[in-house]
Amino acid sequence: MASPTILRDVTAALTRALAEGLGEGAGRPAQVLDSLPPQDTPAAPALSVLLYQVAENAMLRKRERTVEEETGEGGEVREFYRWPPLVLDLRYLVSAWAKDVLAAQGLLGRALQVLHDTPLLGVVSEEEGPVVHEPSLKPYPMDVDTLGGLWRTLGRAYRPAFAYQVTVILPSERKEYLTRVRERVVDMRRKS
């Protein structure tokens, strides 16, 4: 079963990966937030990870349903159609916040390196434990106009940031049981 908390779990895994990665090479670890800071310049350097878009993956949406089997309690085998999984692209905006512009840029550069070195994200659901599929992580290109529009929508001044996309696969729970022909009887008598 797919976790209904997958969005929260992926965001938590992404912020955890950044916090751990930034803490390894830094003298003072930066705070990693799962939202924008309440004001433009927090007291301590901070990195914000904001989920700004959830979209169905267009390339993987046209998969066919598959035939699968399950064994019942009595040992009978039942076949069913399984609908294709829901494949989501979660897009995150990562930005650095600090009083010193160079400190913010350095933090942003370190965050880029951490995510570059993390191709897969180990997601743990609070309800179900580890997720079978490890979401893939890759940069998501965003031009200056799109980024500026996003900052305007968020009600903040433009600042350097980068976008990353996390692709998650949620197995479908939808099943349609099949009824197979067990015996075929053909009557070959002639009609008079």
Domains and CATH numbers, the chain: 6-59+86-168 (3.30.2000)
Rounded (10°) angle between helices 101-116 and 6-25: 110
What is the model's pLDDT at position 178?
Answer: 79
Q: What is the 3-state secondary structure (H, E, C) of 62-90?
A: CCCCEEEEEECCCCCEEEEEECCCEEEEE
Q: From CA 176, how far away is CA 130, in angstroms rounded?
A: 28
Distance of CA 93 to the CA centre of its chain: 13
Neighbours of 111 (CB within 10 A): 23
pLDDT number for residue 1: 40
pLDDT at 93: 95
- Kindly report the pTM of this predicted structure: 0.79
Residue 146 pLDDT: 93
Phi-psi category of 102—alpha, beta or left, where left has phi over 0 and alpha has psi -120 to 50? alpha
CA–CA distances in Å: residue 165 to residues 44, 151, 168: 27, 18, 10
- Residue 40's pLDDT is 65
Please name the helix (run of DSSP H) or strand (run of DSSP E) that holds residue 181, with its range, or none.
none
Token duo for residue 112: 């880029």
Q: What is the 3-state secondary structure (H, E, C) of 19-78?
A: HHHHHHHCCCCCEEECCCCCCCCCCCCEEEEEEEEEEECCCCCCCCCEEEEEECCCCCEE
**C-alpha torsion angle, residues 48, 157, 55, 110 (rounded to 10):** -40
User: From the centroid of its chain, how far is CA 54?
Assistant: 9
Q: What is the pLDDT along the chain (192 residues), one digit of tens a residue?
A: 456 788 888 898 899 889 888 886 555 567 888 888 776 677 788 899 999 999 998 777 677 778 888 887 888 888 888 888 888 999 999 999 888 889 889 999 999 999 888 877 777 666 655 554 578 888 999 999 999 999 999 888 888 899 999 988 887 777 887 777 778 888 778 776
The tokens for 155 are: 């009600």
